[in-house]
Structure 1
Amino acid sequence: MPTTTITKKELNVPTSIIIEVADVLLENEITNDIIGTNAENDELVLEVEYEKEQREVIHQIEDMIADHEESDDDEEEE
């Protein structure tokens, strides 16, 4: 009987994109919990649990966060 490995990861999600991230998590049925906040950076800290097959979705979310942070940096420079 094959075993399923569940990976846990914390994600710091800017509140301005939390709805987009939540949509991706829900569409892919990825278990998640809000485990904290970072008021200084205006972020929610999520703990996600995912299987190997869902790893690409987690990378997609990480890219969303990185793209958002890059656009924030660009706005600050202007």
Structure 2
Amino acid sequence: MMSAVMTIPTISRQQAIAIAEADALPVYRNLDDLTLEVSLHNDGWHVEYQMRKPRHAGGRPHYVIDAVTGEIVSKKYYQ
């Protein structure tokens, strides 16, 4: 059985946020109504935006950013 090996991230938390923001802004135009949750996992930085007011309609983006290369590994837009 193989175990996941955590490498030392070369991409900082702030860089991961900037990468996600650069991708999300053309789609969402404004991220001010969203709160930000960022955590480092074995598969990279998880950058997730949450609705400040959950009763309002609209989606929110969730990204996984490779912690070594800065590549967007996955992105989902929740509606």
* TM-score (norm: length of structure 2): 0.32
* TM-score (norm: length of structure 1): 0.32
